[in-house]
Chain A
């Protein structure tokens, strides 16, 4: 608040500067606005900032009975445990592997679909396809997981049934195989998010200057060359922003999605940082260790978003901030 008062905005400029009790006057003058601010600020303080203070238990052996102040301080013990323990490599490998698959398959998918929709000139087909592929965005991960179990499990599963009918062999329980975990997760993400994300690219595509196409045609460019030389460069800023956003969230696998598809049989490939935090913290009650794991992931996420923003600027693109 101090910085704001030091450089008075338009309204406050009417009051003489450096007058004693100016802050109190501003408080009184805008009392209704401040009153309206209180519930929202209270929310952010209680549910966002108090938990940040709670991160201190990552450096303690937190015992709920002793509380935040009574629990013993242990420095970086839990972080040392994490980095030297058996879990870290597996968690890091699983998380990065999924992140890589996301970059390779999930990121380009909406760009490709948006470009295809953009080339579609029969409006009714375009609208119908759009209406259909937006639907999964609104379905919960629980529903998506249930559909997956219904389609991919061994009893009654449609995929297992088809493979058995057409190719023979014994039925495979896809949802219980560690090696099928990643393909299933990527398929789910593609199914749920691709259609919706096209909206952002379609908006960018709608803004492309039509004269550029005319000029390209004059120069004899066919549709593919127009796509390559006009359309793609025109939506590059959007792609860059989406890439930065994605790299900031690289370690944030959707907790619900992964948790719902994890079972005792595929845990070796399924465990990622977020689900591990829940499993160790809530199920096993190791609050401090789980908080340390979560803090490590949170800090890595912040570094990733600033890093990719910096990289985008270095490459001559506009960053996010």
Chain B
């Protein structure tokens, strides 16, 4: 390997510019988030007087105290946590149980079922017909409307199916000879071997539910059932004043309050980020290779 090619002047200038641009991109990503974090701990007058800052002159926690003392916020936070937890369990369970039979090449009817799944990726009924189904099922204003319509992501299903296909058939065969039913094989052999992929897709689904704004927008009218994302929207949108009049406790959306709500809605994602990055990178690559 020749290292000389990296020593020329042109090459060094190229490297310097390259590093500068990439670090710049990193900063563009990071700075808005840091500004919002700093702003959430700053006083209203400081936010108004300083255009941009990364550290508040005077450290104030009153915004957060206000938030955690206000019903609307606490309720939205608890709602979102609850829906995310229950929803993730339901969605992962449905995905795993469907992926397992689809992984069995000898199962009559498997191809038909797979094609039914894949067709939904290419074509769908769309917003209104789906809304009408959810309405006919009586799920409007129900938390289940935030979970069930998106219960199985076809892409995740197919990745999990491919993973199951790779598992050594001999282990399952041995269990069957010992008198295990398919159900027993699934719970005692397959699931314990699948812990990493279960963890990965739990994160996938959890992030999806936590970040979902379209489902609550479509299916939830009742302001007492708002999720965090809806609240963030109502507080920071262009018509925040009008939107918030739907609430029984009317309050003035100060700038600091907006910052703090954005921080609260982002924080769990950032806390999980190291795991997310590791698993998602793996997931996105499996997905791109095996489909």
- Assess A298 versus B126: contact at CB under 8 Å? Given A140-B210, A140-B229, A223-B11: yes
* A294–B269 touching, CB < 8 Å: no
The yes or no answer to A243 lying at the interface (CB within 8 A) is no
Q: Which residues of B contact A139 (CB under 8 A)?
A: 211, 266, 269
Instruction: For residue B127, give the distance in angstroms from its CB to the closest CB of chain A.
Output: 5
Tell which of B104, B213, B270 touches A140, judged by Cβ atoms closer than 8 Å: B213
A132 and B274 CA atoms in complex are apart in Å by 11
Of the candidate stretches B57-65, B66-74, B92-100, B191-199, the one touching chain A is: B92-100
* B148–A287 touching, CB < 8 Å: no
* B109–A142 touching, CB < 8 Å: no
A222 and B128 CA atoms in complex are apart in Å by 56
Number of A-B contacts (CB under 8 A): 296
In residues 1-40 of chain A, which contact B (Cβ within 8 Å)? Answer: 1, 3-5, 8-12, 23, 26, 30, 32-37, 39-40
* B94–A39 touching, CB < 8 Å: yes
Interface of B is mostly: helix
The yes or no answer to B245 lying at the interface (CB within 8 A) is no
* B108–A12 touching, CB < 8 Å: yes
The yes or no answer to B251 lying at the interface (CB within 8 A) is no
* A37–B98 touching, CB < 8 Å: yes
Of the candidate stretches A79-87, A90-98, A228-236, A252-260, the one touching chain B is: A252-260
A282 and B28 CA atoms in complex are apart in Å by 37
Instruction: For residue A54, give the distance in angstroms from its CB to the closest CB of chain B.
Output: 3
Instruction: For residue A296, give the distance in angstroms from its CB to the closest CB of chain B.
Output: 10
* B29–A133 touching, CB < 8 Å: yes
Most chain-B CB neighbours within 10 Å: which of A23, A37, A264, A291? A37
Instruction: For residue A127, give the distance in angstroms from its CB to the closest CB of chain B.
Output: 10
Tell which of A1, A274, A282, A297 touches B218, judged by Cβ atoms closer than 8 Å: A282
Interface positions of A (Cβ within 8 A of B) = 1, 3-5, 8-12, 23, 26, 30, 32-37, 39-41, 43-44, 46-55, 57, 64, 113, 116-117, 119-122, 125, 128-129, 131-143, 145-147, 149-151, 153, 155-156, 158, 161-162, 165, 175-176, 191, 195-196, 199-200, 203, 214, 217, 222-223, 255-256, 259-260, 263-265, 274, 277-278, 281-282, 287, 290-291, 294-295, 297-298, 301-302, 305
- Interface pairs (12), CB distance under 8 Å: A4-B110, A36-B98, A50-B129, A132-B25, A139-B211, A147-B36, A149-B236, A149-B238, A153-B238, A222-B5, A223-B5, A223-B14
Interface positions of B (Cβ within 8 A of A) = 1-2, 5-6, 10-11, 14-15, 18-19, 21-23, 25-30, 32-33, 35-36, 39, 47-48, 51-52, 94-95, 97-98, 100-102, 104-113, 116-117, 120, 122-133, 137, 148-149, 151-152, 157, 181-183, 186, 207, 210-214, 217-218, 229-230, 232-233, 235-239, 255, 258-259, 262, 265-266, 269-270, 273, 276-277, 280-281, 284-285, 288
